[in-house]
Structure 1
């Protein structure tokens, strides 16, 4: 198989992998009301239980860089796929038997497997981007957004049919696991075969993956790219958690209106991710990141301070547009040098994981005091910080660059 065919195959199979990752993450979350009922928990108790999954993700993020560096993206993704099958199987048993401890175990396993999936597929996508020779990582993140929306629809369909949540977990997990397993090899063919190859082609000694993972924590640029990813995760994740409620509470709107507002946010973000590759190629990462930051900042301020729902809706659109490209840009920046991509992506991703763990409860406490809309204005501080360090996403001078696109050049 020639380079062109390999790149094309890797590109399309990775798009499906990102979509399936989104489906797997949101299809069961859309059934949280049923899960809460089956487990006999209050909303607060369920929220605390879900934090266990975030803790699992954080624990895995801290070691995934070393795991990928030692065993490679392909083996790590195989392990994550198998682990998710086990984790969701445990969740199915937990909801069928109303076992809270089992549910906590399943959530923790899935949280760990989320990190073991996220980092290898992003490293593989960065490899495809380098082979193509132009910015295409936003397309993969758009595929994730589409998959997340599809997952919500799948959950809604199972709920409408009256199926028990355990049935949904088994069916969706079985289908997704089968497809993911079939796509592991083609989707990782442009990632390093294993993580032990050094930049000069020699084989590294045992333990070098751990040292490389620890070394990434001492790199100023990697840490600053992590701050960009933290702001991106905070902006996107807070919208998913609080936007609908902010519309309902802030404007005395119906729940359906809040849901449509969040749908507008996702649609805006997905549209910009699809169009973002051309923008990055033309203007560069730094300029696009800065413009995105200003758009997100304007959208957040408008949403938080607007006196009317229609004006706040404009803010939602700007917010979604501004949140779209920071995540893929940060991942691309962390992956500039293939030999060090795994530990650097792991370090940068850990910042978004901390954001995912800390933001919901902290924003919730603040919302109790000032209201949800006003609480969301705190995100502006993170966006300003991201703007301040935006120059760090510029590719290093010695980073490998491909000037021609094997999919379009002749």
Structure 2
């Protein structure tokens, strides 16, 4: 190693040790404190120097630290039976060795370790008081679905047209569950009125369909928050419309310019309905509240995924069987399941000259209408009559605003 690299490594190892040592020393009284600022700093330097001297020396140094840590634990176990301090000291030695290879990574991990040590009390409250048993079960189910099951699924399509794969179907289900969890957490933090609106808007950039479904589930479980849930679902559609504009503009700028009035009218009309619903939701409790239902329903998430997969299969079959006419029809069907994929299809047809800009302009309006129809039906199915009426009213306003913008 060059002189400058050696200096950076030693400095990173020393910084990690000092930072972790300060946190440990501030959080524990002297009788129960096994290692403080000086000890962690020295152990960090020890790990770095030992690594520079060779792997054998580093292993011997690490074993020595482990033995001394074990002996010290025998003296402090009565006052502090936990193993956090012992693990932190061993990790300081390891990060000291890592600093000799990658000083930036070692420093970043050291900061992360210090944050985890400092967050002892909030994390204990989170695990023991704030999270209910049902919420923990939902979080574990979502984590298993996203991190265990999804990586094992195949990307290869299962149909002759290449439209649907097991990974795609499962990903949609996971997305519905994730949106439900996001809304649940936001409601806990900010209350029904603000929390659901924030969660709905940002969920719309991922999937407004999933947002409509998950907010409908919440409205069914908590009828008092139906208006706030409907406003959140429509905000998700507003976010989806913004992404729709970006997608069309990226594929066909000419089509975006032609359809600007339609898209602006649709957005303004939808925003007006959201503002009306949000104002009516002023009576809803705005303090952070503990939702009584589950964050999501696994069966409904899988049902939505299967429905979208079925629509995608039908659209692919129509496109393969009926040519260009089938492509246009299938685009409208695709919009029932995924509005942005349909937007790409219309914009590509306009950009390649398959259809004139005026026809593509009506196609944009047709995609918005088709998507609104599907989400209205989904709103009634997931959230009941009142939620369905409110969401459908907002989506009808979106389509009407688009028609007025088109005619204007």
Q: Which has the higher contact order (CA 8 A, sep 6+)?
A: 1
Question: Which structure has the greater CA radius of gyration?
Answer: 2
